[in-house]
Amino acid sequence: MQTTINKVNNGNGSLAMLMNDDKLYKNLKNTLSTANNLLYDINARPSRYINVNIFGKKQKNECPPLPAPNAND
How would residue 38 be classed by pLDDT, with cut points 50, 70 and 90?
A: very high
The percent of residues in the chain predicted with pLDDT above 70, rounded, is 81
pLDDT band for position 62 (50/70/90)?
low
Average pLDDT, the chain: 80
Burial 6-43 (b: 16+ CB within 10 A, else e): eebeeeeeeebeeeeeeeeeeeeeeeebeeeeeebbee
